Amino acid sequence: MNRFTLILLTVAAAGSLTGCAPSKSETSAAPDAAAKTAPNTAKTCEGDAGIALPAGFCASVFADNLGHARHLAVAPNGDVYVNTWSSMYTMMKNAPGGYIVALRDADHDGRAEMVERFGTLHQDGKPGGGTGLAIHDGALYAEVDDKIVSYALGGDSLAPKAQPQTIVMGLPQSGDHPMHPFTIAADGSLYMDSGSPSNSCQQKNRAFQSPGRKPCPELATRAGIWRYDTKKTGQAFSARERYATGLRNSEALAVQPRDGALYAVVHGRDQLSENWPKLYTVEQQNELPAEILARVTEGADFGWPSCYFDKMQGKQVLAPEYGGDGGKAVGECAMKGEPAAAFPAHWAPDALAFYTGTAFPGKYQGGAFVSFHGSWNRNPKQAGYLVAFVPFADGKPSGTYEEFATGFAGKEPPADPAKAAYRPMGLAVSPDGAIYVSDDVNGRVWRITHLGN
């Protein structure tokens, strides 16, 4: 799960630093595949953007100090929009405007000279904004508090001038995962995450050996994906629109352009050894359960809270709250959905973007990038804080995944995620083939390009 620490930020101009890949690109094993390491033949480029990339890639700081930068989207004209959550800028009224930040690189130097804010400006000290953000059919869709709204885009204006329309309202916000990230398909279907408010639907959340509730009442409105229609306004959230279930928290959602399939990268549950020490060691907790990449179809059930995916065994197993014995018992989990790929535990996947450009080398085209925010349930050090690349072939994940962009946390991941230098969050592919990555510690936005031969 994600834990956020509000940070009082001072207003600063967007940075102009650049940086490129001075270190090696490592790869990690997908299920049933061995890890391998890419050769350390990285070129260099002027400056230092604070992260490491594979050979031939370069990162520049497109903007900085935006607040808690969450998901982002790039318009067809290259303008970048960033959603922020609980921003100290809006809560303390240190900057004009609202929770969405619009960025424009007017002189095409890789830096946003124009920065405008719009959206709700909270003046009552309550958190505002959200995570979800997408551009579809000439409009910007944004999560704000308990709604998803749309802003018409057009003309030369950077920030929209018209008032937003409410697309979905009444979104649940209680508990551990109050956000509602979403993605929009070509036909206008809006697929939205409603994350679980708990770790594993226990009678007492995160309590020592507290049994799970069965049936889990959360599943009616949480721990799944909901589908709505961008062509309709005023849609009210309810259990009827649930598209898939058993997905604890699908912060990272994207539609595969090749065949229109929906994919989600899902936060796994926590605290196996803390709450069930007779069944799990600390070392096992560090590796269980996997963060999964799932191909999601209508009516699919991926097993949460009764089941979790054990990457080492390559199968779904019963959770201890529901009669599990530490990884041997399978029971009902044999009938639950299987992931398309799996990542190490407690990396906290927060965004998924399919590479639709042609500027990157051929192996990246059609594949997917996943940002990992870094979590808190490893001991003694955390992990994640990177952007991974998942190769696709014939519309499906293939081979190993690579650690594409690293070094966000600093020299090494800290014991406390709040002390990480940066935590990668949003991902978006621009029309020119560059990739944008946002950070929700200091509100930095990187632009990653390929230097060519």
Q: Tell me, what's the pLDDT at 42?
A: 40
Q: What digits encode the pLDDT tens for the residues 142-171?
A: 999 899 999 999 889 999 999 999 999 999
Q: What is the mean pLDDT of residues 239-246?
A: 98
Q: What is the pLDDT of residues 37-73, one digit of tens each?
A: 333 334 456 667 989 999 999 999 999 999 899 999 9
Higher pLDDT, 87 or 99: 99
- The residues spanned by each domain of the chain are 22-302+341-450
Residue 126's pLDDT is 58
Per-residue pLDDT, 98: 83
Mean pLDDT, the chain, whole residue set: 88
User: Tokens representing 331?
Assistant: 């029971």
Residue 96 confidence (pLDDT): 57
* 22-302+341-450: CATH number: 2.120.10.30
Per-residue pLDDT for 333 more than 80? yes
pLDDT at residue 212 tops 90: yes
Judged against a pLDDT cut of 90, whether residue 133 lies above it is answered with yes
Task: Give the C-alpha separation, 149 to 163, whole Å.
Answer: 10
pLDDT of residue 73: 98
| Distance between CA atoms of residues 364 and 175, nearest Å | 37
Give the pLDDT score at 123.
Answer: 53
Burial 361-376 (b: 16+ CB within 10 A, else e): eeebbbbbbbbbbbbb
Q: Rounded CA gap, 67 and 122, in Å? A: 14
- pLDDT band at residue 119, thresholds of 50, 70 and 90? confident
DSSP 117-138: EES----SS---B-S-EEEETT
Q: How far apart are CA 202 and CA 330, in angstroms?
A: 19
Position 46 scores a pLDDT of 64
Provide, rounded to the nearest whole percent, the portion of the chain with pLDDT above 70.
85
- What pLDDT does residue 125 have? 52
429-453 average pLDDT score: 93
Pairing of strands 57-63, 27-28: unpaired
Tokens of 258: 């090749």
pLDDT of residue 199: 98
Query: What H or E segment, with its residue span, contains residue 447?
Result: strand 445-450
Percent of the chain surpassing pLDDT 90:
78
Quote the longest CA-to-CA distance of the chain. Answer: 63
CA 311 to chain centre: 20
Specify the pLDDT at position 307. 98
Structure tokens given for 445: 């936005």
Residue 13 has pLDDT above 70, yes or no: no
